[in-house]
Structure 1
Amino acid sequence: MKKKGILLVIAVIMLLSCLPGCGGKAKDMNEKIKDIEFTVLGEDNLPEELKQIIEEKKEKEFKITYQDNDYIYICIGYGKQETGGYSITVNGLYMTGNAVYVDTNLIGPEAESRELYKAQEKESASYPYIVLKTEYFDKSVVFD
Protein backbone atom coordinates (compact mmCIF):
# COMPACT_ATOMS: atom_id res chain seq x y z
CA MET A 1 0.00 0.00 0.00
CA LYS A 2 2.85 2.36 0.84
CA LYS A 3 4.49 1.65 -2.55
CA LYS A 4 1.29 2.62 -4.39
CA GLY A 5 1.16 5.95 -2.52
CA ILE A 6 4.79 6.72 -3.36
CA LEU A 7 4.25 5.79 -7.01
CA LEU A 8 1.20 8.04 -7.13
CA VAL A 9 3.15 10.97 -5.68
CA ILE A 10 5.96 10.42 -8.22
CA ALA A 11 3.44 10.25 -11.08
CA VAL A 12 1.78 13.52 -9.95
CA ILE A 13 5.17 15.28 -9.67
CA MET A 14 6.13 14.12 -13.16
CA LEU A 15 2.80 15.28 -14.57
CA LEU A 16 3.09 18.70 -12.92
CA SER A 17 6.64 19.17 -14.20
CA CYS A 18 5.35 18.60 -17.74
CA LEU A 19 2.60 21.24 -17.56
CA PRO A 20 4.73 24.38 -18.08
CA GLY A 21 6.32 22.79 -21.15
CA CYS A 22 2.95 21.78 -22.58
CA GLY A 23 1.57 25.29 -22.09
CA GLY A 24 4.59 26.76 -23.87
CA LYS A 25 3.85 24.72 -26.99
CA ALA A 26 0.26 26.00 -27.13
CA LYS A 27 1.52 29.56 -26.73
CA ASP A 28 4.03 29.06 -29.57
CA MET A 29 1.22 27.90 -31.86
CA ASN A 30 -0.58 31.25 -31.38
CA GLU A 31 2.47 33.47 -31.88
CA LYS A 32 2.69 35.47 -35.08
CA ILE A 33 4.94 33.79 -37.64
CA LYS A 34 4.57 36.28 -40.47
CA ASP A 35 2.35 38.96 -41.97
CA ILE A 36 0.37 37.84 -45.01
CA GLU A 37 0.25 39.87 -48.19
CA PHE A 38 -3.26 40.57 -49.49
CA THR A 39 -5.21 42.58 -52.01
CA VAL A 40 -8.42 44.42 -51.17
CA LEU A 41 -10.91 43.67 -53.93
CA GLY A 42 -13.72 45.83 -55.23
CA GLU A 43 -17.06 44.35 -56.22
CA ASP A 44 -16.06 44.26 -59.91
CA ASN A 45 -13.17 41.89 -59.18
CA LEU A 46 -15.08 39.31 -57.14
CA PRO A 47 -16.02 35.87 -58.44
CA GLU A 48 -19.72 35.80 -59.37
CA GLU A 49 -20.58 33.15 -56.79
CA LEU A 50 -18.95 35.21 -54.03
CA LYS A 51 -20.87 38.33 -55.14
CA GLN A 52 -24.12 36.40 -54.72
CA ILE A 53 -23.15 35.13 -51.28
CA ILE A 54 -22.29 38.65 -50.10
CA GLU A 55 -25.53 40.04 -51.56
CA GLU A 56 -27.51 37.46 -49.56
CA LYS A 57 -25.64 38.18 -46.32
CA LYS A 58 -25.10 41.95 -46.48
CA GLU A 59 -28.10 42.95 -44.31
CA LYS A 60 -26.39 41.53 -41.20
CA GLU A 61 -22.81 41.28 -40.02
CA PHE A 62 -20.91 38.40 -41.60
CA LYS A 63 -17.47 36.81 -41.58
CA ILE A 64 -16.86 34.24 -44.28
CA THR A 65 -14.11 32.71 -46.34
CA TYR A 66 -14.35 31.59 -49.93
CA GLN A 67 -11.81 29.49 -51.81
CA ASP A 68 -11.27 29.73 -55.56
CA ASN A 69 -8.33 27.89 -57.18
CA ASP A 70 -5.14 28.93 -55.37
CA TYR A 71 -6.68 31.85 -53.49
CA ILE A 72 -8.75 32.44 -50.41
CA TYR A 73 -11.09 35.39 -50.05
CA ILE A 74 -11.61 36.63 -46.51
CA CYS A 75 -14.85 38.62 -46.30
CA ILE A 76 -16.03 40.78 -43.41
CA GLY A 77 -19.33 42.65 -43.57
CA TYR A 78 -20.69 45.09 -41.02
CA GLY A 79 -24.37 44.86 -41.88
CA LYS A 80 -26.79 47.65 -42.67
CA GLN A 81 -25.68 51.14 -41.64
CA GLU A 82 -28.08 54.07 -41.71
CA THR A 83 -25.83 56.24 -43.90
CA GLY A 84 -22.92 56.02 -46.29
CA GLY A 85 -19.41 57.31 -45.65
CA TYR A 86 -18.02 54.28 -43.83
CA SER A 87 -14.59 52.80 -44.37
CA ILE A 88 -12.90 49.65 -43.15
CA THR A 89 -9.30 49.37 -42.02
CA VAL A 90 -7.25 46.19 -41.89
CA ASN A 91 -5.27 46.18 -38.66
CA GLY A 92 -3.61 42.86 -39.40
CA LEU A 93 -3.59 39.70 -41.46
CA TYR A 94 -1.01 37.25 -40.20
CA MET A 95 -0.19 33.58 -39.79
CA THR A 96 0.48 31.67 -36.58
CA GLY A 97 1.43 28.04 -36.16
CA ASN A 98 -2.18 26.91 -36.32
CA ALA A 99 -4.30 29.63 -37.99
CA VAL A 100 -4.57 32.79 -40.04
CA TYR A 101 -5.76 35.81 -38.05
CA VAL A 102 -7.55 38.82 -39.51
CA ASP A 103 -8.41 42.01 -37.64
CA THR A 104 -10.48 44.84 -39.15
CA ASN A 105 -12.33 47.94 -37.91
CA LEU A 106 -15.33 49.80 -39.24
CA ILE A 107 -14.79 53.56 -39.24
CA GLY A 108 -17.94 55.65 -39.40
CA PRO A 109 -18.42 59.11 -40.82
CA GLU A 110 -18.15 62.13 -38.54
CA ALA A 111 -21.49 63.35 -37.16
CA GLU A 112 -21.55 66.30 -39.60
CA SER A 113 -20.91 64.01 -42.58
CA ARG A 114 -23.59 61.61 -41.38
CA GLU A 115 -26.17 64.40 -41.46
CA LEU A 116 -24.99 65.41 -44.94
CA TYR A 117 -25.40 61.84 -46.20
CA LYS A 118 -28.91 61.69 -44.75
CA ALA A 119 -29.86 64.99 -46.41
CA GLN A 120 -28.46 63.95 -49.82
CA GLU A 121 -30.36 60.71 -50.14
CA LYS A 122 -33.80 59.64 -49.12
CA GLU A 123 -32.68 56.03 -48.63
CA SER A 124 -29.08 56.47 -47.52
CA ALA A 125 -28.37 53.06 -46.01
CA SER A 126 -25.08 51.37 -46.84
CA TYR A 127 -23.69 47.87 -46.38
CA PRO A 128 -19.95 48.21 -45.79
CA TYR A 129 -17.84 45.11 -46.32
CA ILE A 130 -14.29 44.25 -47.28
CA VAL A 131 -12.87 41.34 -49.25
CA LEU A 132 -9.21 40.39 -48.83
CA LYS A 133 -7.67 38.10 -51.44
CA THR A 134 -4.55 36.15 -50.53
CA GLU A 135 -2.84 32.92 -51.45
CA TYR A 136 -4.48 29.81 -50.05
CA PHE A 137 -3.17 28.45 -46.74
CA ASP A 138 -4.29 25.16 -45.26
CA LYS A 139 -5.21 26.77 -41.96
CA SER A 140 -8.44 27.99 -40.43
CA VAL A 141 -9.18 31.73 -40.39
CA VAL A 142 -9.79 33.43 -37.06
CA PHE A 143 -11.63 36.76 -37.12
CA ASP A 144 -10.54 39.16 -34.35
Structure 2
Amino acid sequence: MERKKQSMWKTFALAFCLLLSLEAGGCVRQEKKNSEQHELEIKVVTEEAIPEELMSLIEKNKKTPFRLTFADQGKLYLAEGYGEQKTTGYSVEVDRLCETQETVYIHTGLLGPEKGEEKKEIATYPYVVVELEETEKNIRFE
Protein backbone atom coordinates (compact mmCIF):
# COMPACT_ATOMS: atom_id res chain seq x y z
CA MET A 1 0.00 0.00 0.00
CA GLU A 2 2.86 2.36 0.85
CA ARG A 3 4.45 1.80 -2.59
CA LYS A 4 1.15 2.63 -4.25
CA LYS A 5 1.02 5.97 -2.38
CA GLN A 6 4.62 6.74 -3.33
CA SER A 7 3.90 5.90 -6.96
CA MET A 8 0.80 8.11 -6.91
CA TRP A 9 2.80 11.03 -5.46
CA LYS A 10 5.57 10.56 -8.04
CA THR A 11 2.95 10.62 -10.81
CA PHE A 12 1.40 13.77 -9.30
CA ALA A 13 4.83 15.44 -8.99
CA LEU A 14 5.70 14.56 -12.59
CA ALA A 15 2.37 15.91 -13.84
CA PHE A 16 2.88 19.09 -11.82
CA CYS A 17 6.38 19.61 -13.24
CA LEU A 18 5.09 19.00 -16.75
CA LEU A 19 2.35 21.56 -16.19
CA LEU A 20 4.88 24.10 -14.95
CA SER A 21 7.15 23.53 -17.94
CA LEU A 22 4.23 23.97 -20.33
CA GLU A 23 3.22 27.15 -18.54
CA ALA A 24 6.77 28.50 -18.74
CA GLY A 25 6.83 27.72 -22.45
CA GLY A 26 3.54 29.56 -22.84
CA CYS A 27 5.00 32.63 -21.18
CA VAL A 28 7.91 32.69 -23.61
CA ARG A 29 5.56 32.46 -26.58
CA GLN A 30 3.37 35.20 -25.11
CA GLU A 31 6.34 37.55 -24.73
CA LYS A 32 7.28 36.99 -28.38
CA LYS A 33 3.67 37.65 -29.39
CA ASN A 34 3.60 40.88 -27.38
CA SER A 35 6.69 42.22 -29.15
CA GLU A 36 4.87 41.86 -32.48
CA GLN A 37 1.71 43.64 -31.33
CA HIS A 38 0.85 47.15 -32.36
CA GLU A 39 -1.82 49.36 -30.90
CA LEU A 40 -5.07 50.10 -32.72
CA GLU A 41 -7.17 53.23 -32.46
CA ILE A 42 -9.94 52.73 -29.92
CA LYS A 43 -13.23 53.90 -31.42
CA VAL A 44 -16.00 53.45 -28.85
CA VAL A 45 -19.45 53.43 -30.43
CA THR A 46 -22.27 55.45 -28.89
CA GLU A 47 -25.51 53.62 -28.17
CA GLU A 48 -27.28 55.47 -30.97
CA ALA A 49 -24.68 54.32 -33.54
CA ILE A 50 -24.80 50.61 -32.64
CA PRO A 51 -26.40 48.58 -35.46
CA GLU A 52 -29.94 47.47 -34.55
CA GLU A 53 -29.20 43.76 -34.82
CA LEU A 54 -26.19 44.07 -32.50
CA MET A 55 -28.22 46.16 -30.05
CA SER A 56 -30.83 43.40 -30.01
CA LEU A 57 -28.13 40.82 -29.16
CA ILE A 58 -26.81 43.05 -26.37
CA GLU A 59 -30.31 43.44 -24.92
CA LYS A 60 -30.81 39.66 -24.96
CA ASN A 61 -27.48 39.00 -23.23
CA LYS A 62 -27.04 42.01 -20.93
CA LYS A 63 -28.04 40.35 -17.63
CA THR A 64 -24.94 38.13 -17.63
CA PRO A 65 -21.37 38.88 -18.73
CA PHE A 66 -20.99 38.61 -22.51
CA ARG A 67 -18.49 38.99 -25.33
CA LEU A 68 -19.82 39.47 -28.84
CA THR A 69 -18.40 40.14 -32.28
CA PHE A 70 -20.61 41.47 -35.05
CA ALA A 71 -19.77 42.35 -38.66
CA ASP A 72 -21.85 44.81 -40.67
CA GLN A 73 -21.11 46.78 -43.86
CA GLY A 74 -17.32 46.44 -43.68
CA LYS A 75 -17.16 47.19 -39.96
CA LEU A 76 -16.44 44.80 -37.10
CA TYR A 77 -17.95 45.51 -33.70
CA LEU A 78 -16.53 44.07 -30.49
CA ALA A 79 -18.92 44.22 -27.56
CA GLU A 80 -18.25 43.28 -23.95
CA GLY A 81 -20.69 43.51 -21.08
CA TYR A 82 -20.26 42.82 -17.39
CA GLY A 83 -23.76 41.68 -16.52
CA GLU A 84 -26.12 43.10 -13.96
CA GLN A 85 -24.75 45.56 -11.39
CA LYS A 86 -26.90 46.39 -8.39
CA THR A 87 -26.39 50.19 -8.52
CA THR A 88 -25.73 53.03 -10.90
CA GLY A 89 -22.23 54.43 -11.40
CA TYR A 90 -20.59 51.55 -13.28
CA SER A 91 -18.92 51.90 -16.66
CA VAL A 92 -16.66 49.88 -18.93
CA GLU A 93 -13.29 51.16 -20.09
CA VAL A 94 -11.23 49.84 -23.00
CA ASP A 95 -7.74 49.47 -21.54
CA ARG A 96 -6.06 48.20 -24.68
CA LEU A 97 -6.82 47.33 -28.29
CA CYS A 98 -3.99 45.85 -30.35
CA GLU A 99 -3.26 43.32 -33.07
CA THR A 100 -0.69 40.83 -34.31
CA GLN A 101 -0.54 39.26 -37.74
CA GLU A 102 -3.21 36.74 -36.74
CA THR A 103 -5.19 38.16 -33.81
CA VAL A 104 -6.92 41.29 -32.53
CA TYR A 105 -6.79 41.63 -28.73
CA ILE A 106 -9.17 43.71 -26.66
CA HIS A 107 -8.84 44.24 -22.92
CA THR A 108 -11.56 46.02 -21.00
CA GLY A 109 -12.25 46.69 -17.36
CA LEU A 110 -15.28 47.39 -15.22
CA LEU A 111 -15.09 50.68 -13.34
CA GLY A 112 -17.19 51.02 -10.21
CA PRO A 113 -18.78 54.12 -8.75
CA GLU A 114 -16.23 56.69 -7.63
CA LYS A 115 -15.82 57.32 -3.93
CA GLY A 116 -18.45 59.79 -2.81
CA GLU A 117 -20.40 59.46 -6.08
CA GLU A 118 -24.16 59.47 -5.60
CA LYS A 119 -25.60 56.16 -6.73
CA LYS A 120 -29.07 54.71 -6.96
CA GLU A 121 -30.07 51.18 -5.99
CA ILE A 122 -31.27 50.15 -9.44
CA ALA A 123 -29.89 47.47 -11.74
CA THR A 124 -27.60 48.62 -14.53
CA TYR A 125 -25.92 46.65 -17.31
CA PRO A 126 -22.61 48.26 -18.27
CA TYR A 127 -21.07 47.35 -21.62
CA VAL A 128 -18.85 48.83 -24.30
CA VAL A 129 -18.83 48.49 -28.08
CA VAL A 130 -15.72 49.18 -30.18
CA GLU A 131 -15.71 49.56 -33.97
CA LEU A 132 -12.92 48.37 -36.28
CA GLU A 133 -12.51 47.76 -39.96
CA GLU A 134 -13.75 44.25 -40.73
CA THR A 135 -10.99 41.65 -40.51
CA GLU A 136 -10.56 37.90 -40.85
CA LYS A 137 -8.21 37.85 -37.84
CA ASN A 138 -9.09 35.97 -34.67
CA ILE A 139 -10.59 38.09 -31.92
CA ARG A 140 -9.43 37.57 -28.36
CA PHE A 141 -11.07 39.24 -25.38
CA GLU A 142 -8.74 39.48 -22.40
Does the TM-score normalized on the shorter chain lie above 0.5?
yes
What does residue 81 of structure 2 align with?
A: 77
Deviation of residue 58 (structure 1)? 0.3
CA contact (8 A) 2:79 2:128 kept: yes
> Structure 1, residues 4-40: CA drift from partner, whole Å, max 9, x if none?
xxxxxxxxxxxxxxxxxxxx88864554432112311
- C-alpha distance in structure 1 between counterparts of 2:133 and 2:64, whole Å: 27
Alignment check: 8 A CA contact 1:30 1:97 kept: no
Aligned to 1:109: 113
Deviation, 1:69, is 1.9
Larger radius of gyration: 1
Match of 2:67 among 57, 63, 66: 63
More RCO (CA 8 Å, sep 6+): 1
Task: Give the CA deviation at 1:87.
Answer: 1.9
TM-score by length of 1: 0.71
SS in 2 for 1:39: coil
Q: TM-score scaled to structure 2, two decimals? A: 0.72
The Cα RMSD (Å) is 2.1
Quick one: which amino acid aligns to residue 141 of structure 2? F
Match of 2:136 in 1: 138
| 1:99 and 2:103 aligned | yes
Instruction: Please give the alpha-carbon distance, in whole angstroms, between the structure 1 residues aligned to 2:119 and 2:68.
Output: 29
Percentage of identical aligned residues? 37
Alignment equivalent of 2:41, drawn from 12, 37, 58: 37
Specify every segment of 5 or more residues in structure 2 that has no aligned partner in the other structure, as ranges: 1-27
